[in-house]
Amino acid sequence: MPTNFTVVPVEDNVTSGQEEGAEGDADTEEATPELSGRRSKGDESPIESSPFFNSYYDGKNMALFEEEIDSTPMVSSLLNKLANYTNLTQGVIEHEEDENDDGVKRVTYKGPQMGTFIGVYLPCVQNILGVILFLRLTWIVGTAGILGSLAIVFMCCACTILTAISMSAIATNGVVPAGGAYYMISRSLGPEFGGAVGLCFYLGTTFAGSLYILGTIEILLTYIVPEAKLFSPEQPGADENNMRVYGTCCLALMALVVFVGVKYVNKLALVFLSCVVLSIMAIYAGVIKTLIEPPNVPVCLVGNRSLQSHGFDLCKKEVDENNVTRPTELWKLFCPNSSIEFPCDEYFNLNNVTQIQGIPGLLSGVISDNWWGEYGPSAMVVEKRNQPSVPVPEDKAEGHHGHYVLNDIATCFTLLVGIFFPSVTGIMAGSNRSGDLKDAQKSIPTGTIMAIVTTSFIYFSCVLLFGACIEGVVLRDKFGDSVQKQLVIGLLSWPSPWVLVIGSFFSCAGAGLQSLTGAPRLLQAIARDGIVPFLQVFGHGKSNGEPTWALLLTAGICEIGILIASLDFVAPILSMFFLMCYLFVNLACAVQTLLRTPNWRPRFKFYHWTLSFLGMSLCLSLMFISSWYYALVVMVIAGCIYKYIEYRGAEKEWGDGIRGLSLNAAYYALVKLEDAPTHTKNWRPQLLVLLKLDTDLAVKHPRMLSFTTQLKAGKGLTIASSVLEGSYKTRGSDAKHSEQNVRSAMSTERTKGFCHVVVSSNLRDGFSHLIQSAGLGGMKHNTVLMAWPTNWKQADNSICCTNFTETVRETTAAHQCLLVAKNIDHFPANDERLDGGTIDVWWIVHDGGLLMLLPFLLRQHKVWRKCKTRIFTVAQLDDNSIQMKKDLQRFMYHLRLDAEVEVVEMHASDISAFTYEKTLVMEQRSQMLKQMQLSKTEREREAQLIHDRNTSAHASQSHRAATSPVHMTWTKEKLVAERNRNREAIMGVRDIFNMKPEWGNLNQSNVRRMHTAVKLNEVVVSKSQEAHLVLLNMPGPPKSREGDENYMEFLEVLIEGLDRVLLVRGGGREVITIYS
């Protein structure tokens, strides 16, 4: 429905100076770029550049919008830019830039505005009709029969028409810059598919150049100047060597022409097109002439076998001259003696020699003999159907097959499909010229489909006409051996066979030149997109943009096809590459249609996703029908290119359909995941990594990401997050910069996952928001990883201590696991290899089995692979340590975990004076910090003094504890002795309270907790001080927030003296199971 706009003029007071400025538009435009880059105050985000936007604003009527005019231009400015938009080819733009840099003023270039007929229809027709039509179509009709040939033509033409429909939908979905199929596929399916298919299309175009050059040389050496052959037919491989020598020379000449200037190729394009048109008209004229007077094309047969026409002049065994019968030259070919009485070939002796017309004409009825195909192996004699013949047993055959017309290769239906398909390629010629069209969205669909319809009609009609006019033995004679080495289709043409021979020669040569012209530019476009790093060098060229390096590579690859030296073997290769390209064109259209993205609005409406899928299936079927091993090779090549671009290529965001498909797939997967919780067998740590940033907004502890990589190995969810203090309005740009730094660190540490930086008024709320809301749907984290706050004692107002304990509480409330790493900077990097050593697990309490699962996950990574796992558990007074060890070993066996098991017995010793003293210092410090408003410097000094004193006291206590052995087995005598010691300990405590009465006022709960931390630390240090990593149960925080600092002190004592420690706290559910 058309939309009507009414332009209402708005008067404004324009000064004379403004009027004068309006006249000097050229000067204003020069100043515009400086103004276009400006920003409004407070806007810290960069403005996206666009060729359509002009941020210059000099008016007063729209003052209400003047603050947004930089990012949202006026409609009049936008429409003006759109109206003046021109799409020049890359070579022209570079040429203009080069001369402008030299200071030479250049006349503005205006791209050619071609219509549908000149810009799309004729180039497509010229590219589709070519070498296969002139050199192989008659042979295909004779070998496959009319029905088989119609089936081949139908399959190939149906493939191209379905591909053209999909291509038309893509080409009319917006402005299509120059780039053709590569641009459409890459922008529809993404850089990975685009690069893979673009390179396949490039290789197909390059091998097409080889095909056309081989066709040119075949016409030259077989039908124009056969005496120019360098190698005699008696030499083995003579024909192939002639093709290689002349083909290489022809390639060098064509590459030189392209290098000198494409303008010469363009000037000859009309000549080449005229040759194609004249050749087609000559064929139809010759068919019409057969209705009036069929041409005289004699073919000699021995029995039903077709004879090569050289070496004799008369198609007879003997002739009568003056009543004397003498043998002919034909007789001498089959008999070594000149006497008639001694024939040497049994088949020649038993069968008559007959002469038939090779082209009997349209009304001869020969069509009835050509309906069905006749396939056979290599070196099979070409025979005429329904011709009387006396067969000869193989043992009596004298071996004169060299005089018959033979199959040069084994024939089958699938081979003919691969040979014929290149004759329907070339449908991309119109889309390749999209930058030169007046209205590409109208011309490309119309011109391409009309060209396919026209050429399909030509192929169908030629199959029927050839089968109705030409004898089958002549059709199956690929090189015209039975008709004086003349081109079979040329004998049918009118007024002279030379019209079609010369026309086909120039047509093939022109098509080869166009292939050598188009392929380097396609490679240059791929290289300049930057998606394949090793192709960057081929993006450079001469000053005017001509791709010199790409031309050299194209010539080198084209030489490979020429060295094959057989048109029949090169044709299936390029069929594979073109079919792969067409397959992905159909896939692109189908994906875009099914996704129904808002931007998918093609002007071409006659398409449907089922047609695209049908075309895609047909392309895939034709690939395997033509040659299954070639199809596999091309798929492997495309797959390798895809994975290479995915692994090493530059990231591109083109709004492609594969990304939309991934989003849809992710949406459905997330919706499905949210229906049910994760089963224990599928549970793995989905990490939320809480990172700390330095003053430069860089990651302060990158080893956190290294440890994440080692723990995850690319599996599951990883969210690297951090919090910035402040408001998003003032720190929004800092948040984006922080995310870039975190992504860079993740890339360096090879951590696969997502990044999320939030801005909050304080760190505590920020961490709380992340724990609650990070992730989406069923793809949410279940484990939080953070670093141990080493400076919690020096933190101002105990904010660091409060943030840590609140994070622990919130992960517990959210039923999430918590991992706290001490000395994270000492953890191994990804490139380190730990040679031996142990990962020690201290299993104090069972909180879901996460402690056992973590060492298994770490040992999957090459850093920890050679480490052994040891599991320690603690036996109390009433426990049977021997039975505990057996049960633990059995449990590890059922869990399928390889680990050494050890049970450590901790006797109920008396609470040492060190424990009381440490508890007293802790409580006194806590009270002082609450009651006194100390300055930051004083607090840090006091905390340091307390820390130094505690460290020296604990070191002496640890030394004493290390000298006493740890008992491993409880006995009855030990039990009685332990109880007596407990009684003595009670008396000893009373004595201690008498020594220091202030100890009696201590909180006994804190004393017991400190005692547990001290004793457990002594045992852990004695057993695991040399371990590469110690995993330890993390006790929960106190319910009262007044004891946060005491809780931190307990944890500090628990892990003191250990280098790498990972405190583990479960989420309240089982994460490991013994069941399958």
C-alpha pair distances (Å), 296 with each of 290, 441, 483: 10, 51, 10
CA–CA gap between residue 407 and residue 688 (Å, rounded)? 70
pTM above 0.95, yes or no: no
**Pairing assessment for the beta strands 868-875 and 838-843 based on DSSP bridges:** parallel
Q: Which residue has the tokens 């027709």?
A: 125
Backbone angles phi, psi at 286, to 5 degrees: -65, -35
CB within 8 Å of 879: residues ≥ 6 apart: 970
CA dihedral 600, 606, 612, 618 (to 10 degrees): -160
**Pairing assessment for the beta strands 754-760 and 353-357 based on DSSP bridges:** unpaired
Q: Which residue has the tokens 């392929």?
A: 519
Evaluate whether 354 touches 407 at the Cβ level (below 8 Å).
no
Evaluate whether 1047 touches 805 at the Cβ level (below 8 Å).
yes
Question: Around Cβ 406, how many Cβ atoms within 10 Å?
Answer: 19
Q: What is the pLDDT of residue 976?
A: 56
Q: Torsion-angle region of residue 1068: left (phi > 0), alpha (psi -120 to 50) or beta?
A: left
DSSP-assigned letter for residue 481: G
Evaluate whether 742 touches 753 at the Cβ level (below 8 Å).
no
Q: What is the pLDDT of residue 134?
A: 92
CA–CA gap between residue 1050 and residue 633 (Å, rounded)? 65
DSSP-assigned letter for residue 220: I
Residues listed for the chain: 1076
Which amino acid is located at 934 in the chain? L
> Which residue, among 464, 461, 490, has the nearest Cα to 477 in the 3D structure?
490
Residue 719 parent element (H or E): strand 718-725
Q: What is the 3-state secondary structure (H, E, C) of 77-130?
A: HHHHHHHCCCCCCHHHHHHHHHHHHCCCCCCCCCCCCECHHHHHHHHHHHHHCC
CA–CA gap between residue 252 and residue 117 (Å, rounded)? 33
Question: Which residue spans within 885-964 are E strands per DSSP?
Answer: 900-905
Q: Within a 13 Å sphere around the CA of 183, how many CA atoms are in the beta-carbon half? A: 21
Tokens of 296: 């005289």
CA–CA gap between residue 299 and residue 934 (Å, rounded)? 118
574: helix, coil or strand? helix
- Our CA angle for 321, 326, 328, nearest 5°, is 105
Q: What is the pLDDT of residue 657?
A: 55
Evaluate whether 1024 touches 791 at the Cβ level (below 8 Å).
no
CB within 8 Å of 850: residues ≥ 6 apart: 685, 817, 1064, 1066, 1067, 1071, 1072
Q: What is the pLDDT of residue 45?
A: 40
Q: What is the pLDDT of residue 447?
A: 92
CB within 8 Å of 1054: residues ≥ 6 apart: 1013, 1016, 1017, 1032, 1035
Evaluate whether 699 touches 658 at the Cβ level (below 8 Å).
no
Evaluate whether 478 touches 408 at the Cβ level (below 8 Å).
yes
Q: What is the pLDDT of residue 88?
A: 33
Residue 711 parent element (H or E): helix 703-712
Residues of the chain with pLDDT below 50 are: 1-60, 64, 81-111, 910-911, 913, 916, 929, 932-936, 954-955, 957-970, 985-1001
Tokens of 563: 């060295």
C-alpha pair distances (Å), 260 with each of 210, 512, 582, 740, 961: 20, 16, 32, 47, 90
CA–CA gap between residue 172 and residue 646 (Å, rounded)? 28
Q: What is the pLDDT of residue 6?
A: 41
Evaluate whether 129 touches 276 at the Cβ level (below 8 Å).
yes
CA–CA gap between residue 924 and residue 225 (Å, rounded)? 111
> Which residue, among 490, 624, 645, 627, has the nearest Cα to 570 in the 3D structure?
627
DSSP-assigned letter for residue 307: B
Q: Which residue has the tokens 């641009």?
A: 183
CB within 8 Å of 348: residues ≥ 6 apart: 302, 317, 334, 335, 400
**Pairing assessment for the beta strands 1061-1065 and 817-822 based on DSSP bridges:** antiparallel
Q: Which residue has the tokens 């802790």?
A: 922
Chain centroid to CA 714: 19
Instruction: Describe the crossing of helices 567-595 and 413-420 by its angle, rounded to 10 degrees.
Output: 80
Q: What is the pLDDT of residue 150?
A: 96
Q: What is the pLDDT of residue 660?
A: 66
CB within 8 Å of 122: residues ≥ 6 apart: 273
CA dihedral 1012, 1015, 1019, 1022 (to 10 degrees): 140
Evaluate whether 500 touches 402 at the Cβ level (below 8 Å).
no
Q: What is the pLDDT of residue 401?
A: 64
Instruction: Describe the crossing of helices 609-626 and 413-420 by its angle, rounded to 10 degrees.
Output: 120
